[in-house]
Amino acid sequence: MPVKTYRDALRDAMAEEMRRDESVVLLGEDIGVYGGTHLVTNNLIDEFGPTRVIDTPIAENGFTGAAIGMAMGGMRPIVEMMTWNFSFLAADQIIQNAAKLRYFSGGQVSVPLVIRGPNGGGVQLSAQHTHSLEGFYGHFPGLTVVSPVTPHDAKGMMLTAIREPDPVIFLEAGALYGTKGEVEDGDYTVPFGKARIAREGTDVSLISYGRQVPMLLRVAETLEGEGIDAEVIDLRSIRPFDSETIVNSVKKTNRAVVVQEQWRWFSVASEVAAILQEQAFDYLDAPVERVSGAEVPAPYARNLELAAFPNEQQIAEAVHRVLYRKDN
């Protein structure tokens, strides 16, 4: 299989669907002539023109509302948020309209809309550009929320998202855009609601999503040198959520560490811990550990940004706590 970057895999998916389906259009700030802040849409305007790759004003609430109307009318718009933080300006449209129109219409109206863009930190964009919003949008019924890690999944999940009849919140990690991996040629999809076992193991389950997953794989390699066999679970999908995979993993390993970039309180890691307590309590030999971002706005300075997000040492220490508790 050819090796591609994460951004190229996303671009390929959108371009392939635009060639296949003329109802697919792109909207966002600087996505056309400029090619997108992260170059995900680079050169697409050359092939598809300004009526299908639409440069919008700096008005998230306006162009998101326009995209919802387009979707209701039979088109399949893909909206880029320059960063997901800017979606706060469009939250009323996303939550009050896109997520609820099928319900309001008794199933008569669908909103086949994808909203995509960089989520989370790792690229020094400071506090107003560095939120992790998977917990926020994952809270609302009517929205599908996904966070692919590999270029293979980025393409396959984007193809799935574009073909969905309901709105999809597609969270990309800005720090992953340049990462590389094998990507299948041709048309393939990756289903939502199914986690990926990125590494099999028997001693502890390391669970995360987004840009934390490569970190977990590095930690697992280090732990192997200590004789610890860690399993790594890539959630991939926040809503719908794959409870079965994480529960089965913990039934095998008897211990779990959940890692997230977002803040600890009211978060995805909290939900994972609750699911494991409800469905795998009798298999747990230690409480579920959560490793989360610091409870501060994201700093700009590189050294402080690194300190504000989970690191390999923190994860390894959490693994040691669940393995070597005195009451085990």
The single residue of 17, 60, 172, 305 carrying the catalytic annotation is: 60
The answer to whether residue 129 is catalytic is yes
Distance from C-alpha of 206 to C-alpha of 94, rounded to nearest angstrom: 32
pLDDT at 164: 97
The answer to whether residue 152 is catalytic is no
The single residue of 129, 131, 152, 172 carrying the catalytic annotation is: 129
Rg (CA), the chain: 20
Task: pLDDT band for 122, please (50, 70, 90 cuts).
Answer: confident
pLDDT at 2: 93
Distance from C-alpha of 288 to C-alpha of 318, rounded to nearest angstrom: 9
Distance from C-alpha of 276 to C-alpha of 252, rounded to nearest angstrom: 13
pLDDT at 326: 60
Distance from C-alpha of 149 to C-alpha of 312, rounded to nearest angstrom: 18
What number is the average pLDDT over the span 26-31? 97
Kind and range of the H or E run holding 221: helix 212-224
pLDDT digits (tens, 9 = 90+) for 44-74: 999 999 999 999 999 999 999 999 999 999 9
Task: pLDDT band for 304, please (50, 70, 90 cuts).
Answer: confident
Domains of the chain: 3-182 (3.40.50.970), 196-323 (3.40.50.920)
Report the DSSP pairing between strands 3-5 and 180-182.
Answer: antiparallel
Kind and range of the H or E run holding 259: strand 256-263
What number is the average pLDDT over the span 97-107? 96
More confident residue, 299 or 285: 285
